Amino acid sequence: MSEIQPQSVDLLIEARWVVPVEPHGVVLENHAVAVRGDCIVALLPIAAARAAYLPHETVSLPEHALIPGLVNAHTHNPMTLLRGLADDLPLMVWLQQHIWPAEAKVIGPEFVRDGVELAVAEMLRGGTTCANENYFFPDAIGATYRKLGFRAVVGLPVIEFPTAWAKSQDEYFERASKVHDSFLGDPLVSTAFAPHAPYTVSDESFERIRVLADQLDIPVHLHLHETAHEVEEAKQKSGLRPFQRLQKLGLVNDRLIAVHMTQLTDGEIAACAEAGVSVVHCPESNLKLASGFCPAEKLRRAGVNLAIGTDGCASNNDLDMFGELRTAALLAKAVAQDAAALDAANALHAATLGSAKAMGLDAKIGSIKAGKQADLAAVRLSDLETQPLFHVASQLVYATGRHQVSDVWIAGRRKLAARELVGMDVEALLTRTRAWRERIAEH
């Protein structure tokens, strides 16, 4: 018999541990991931990989865990340029008296471009490879993600008052259609409808969104039940809780990405599970704005797909998904009054495959599996802060800092190499960021 010849691949990543996320809770020791083009072709023991493949490049990670790139399921990334502008204020005061006025004075394509680029740099250095974006000027946002080779779902904003992006309901929808069409078939950038929230979007707009989301086969990404005040105000105005209103309008389905969800009845949780709704938990933003506590473990146990997001830097104040998933796990235990709630494996699932599923991308990303896109992050676990090491998943969730992310790939392309950003001019970015700081501080 003739020997089987090794196959050519572009990249072989050999790691001390691989955490594939599916199968759930599994940690593989001394395994390798083979990548051809933008796809994972195999996950197998290092010795078998060396025999089976001839790689163009081999990356050895003897002290690292290789994980799927983290997926940030709710961001307002241009707002990175507003980081720390108006801290320690309640949501509506923060939003209406500080953030919206500041945005009105500076918002535009250049602000959006530079804010997204700053966010991408921060996310890559923290092991995040995909973001669910919700902000104005989605054309400029998507173009920036495309240019930087970062994966994103770009929100198509809808709100009932004029902004720098659109002046009327019809214009919001006309511009949404054009932006959606401009990214059709893009390998990294896709779209979702992003109506701001029930208190800023009319029934008529929601009905149009429902029809168009079905036609275009895209998600609907909105803030929902963020605070008790939001729910009470809606009940006084319409007699309906916001979730009930969305049910009546036909929007409670498997396209819905419901963000925050701090005020939920058992019936609403059951309805989310039955309809296939995804809930994005943003624990640090909710804590900082005193918005309330998402019942994350109750949702998970009911069968609701749970995702994790940071929210924007104006209310967090970072895009650190390692910090976020740790906070999510700890807060879930306190809220459920159960130390076993949202354990390490489930927290990591929410920040990867759960977030990918919310965005409709779980067939492409969120786990390390043959046929999926090679969106990967390497985390060095030899630092004294993560020693001794008994359980890899627990260490990743409860002890690891984003500074331990050494290398990142998106669609097989290296974006972070030994902590250095690839193809980004950091000094030029910092110069532009400081210029925005001066401009914003003038107002």
Q: What is the pTM of this model?
A: 0.97
Go through the domains of the chain in sequence order and give each one's CATH number: 7-68+367-411 (2.30.40.10), 70-358 (3.20.20.140)
Q: What is the pLDDT of residue 442?
A: 78
pLDDT for res 95 = 84
Beta bridge partners, 78, equal none
Alpha-carbon gap, residue 367 to 27, rounded angstroms: 12
pLDDT at 3: 66
Continuous segment of H or E residues that includes residue 256: strand 256-260
Q: What's the confidence (pLDDT) of residue 441? A: 87
| C-beta separation of 220 from 256 below 8 A | yes
pLDDT at 91: 80
pLDDT digits 0-9 by tens, 85-126: 999 988 889 889 999 899 988 999 999 999 999 999 999 999
* Cα(148)–Cα(19) distance, integer angstroms: 26
Give the integer Cα–Cα distance in Å for 325 and 126: 12
Q: What's the confidence (pLDDT) of residue 368?
A: 99
Q: Please answer whether residues 158 and 176 qualify as being in contact, where contact means their C-beta atoms are separated by less than 8 angstroms.
A: yes
- List the pLDDT tens digit at each of the 443 positions of the chain: 456 789 999 999 999 999 999 999 999 999 999 999 999 999 999 999 999 999 999 999 999 999 999 999 999 999 999 999 999 988 889 889 999 899 988 999 999 999 999 999 999 999 999 999 999 999 999 999 999 999 999 999 999 999 999 999 999 999 999 999 999 999 999 999 999 999 999 999 999 999 999 999 999 999 999 999 999 999 999 999 999 999 999 999 999 999 999 999 999 999 999 999 999 999 999 999 999 999 999 999 999 999 999 999 999 999 999 999 999 999 999 999 999 999 999 999 999 999 999 999 999 999 999 999 999 999 999 999 999 999 999 999 999 999 999 999 999 999 999 999 999 999 999 999 999 999 998 76
pLDDT in the model for residue 94: 87
Q: Report the 10 Å Cβ neighbour count for 112.
A: 24
For 437, the token pair is 């700081």
Interatomic CA distance for residues 104 and 162, integer angstroms: 11
- What would the two tokens of residue 322 be? 């390692």
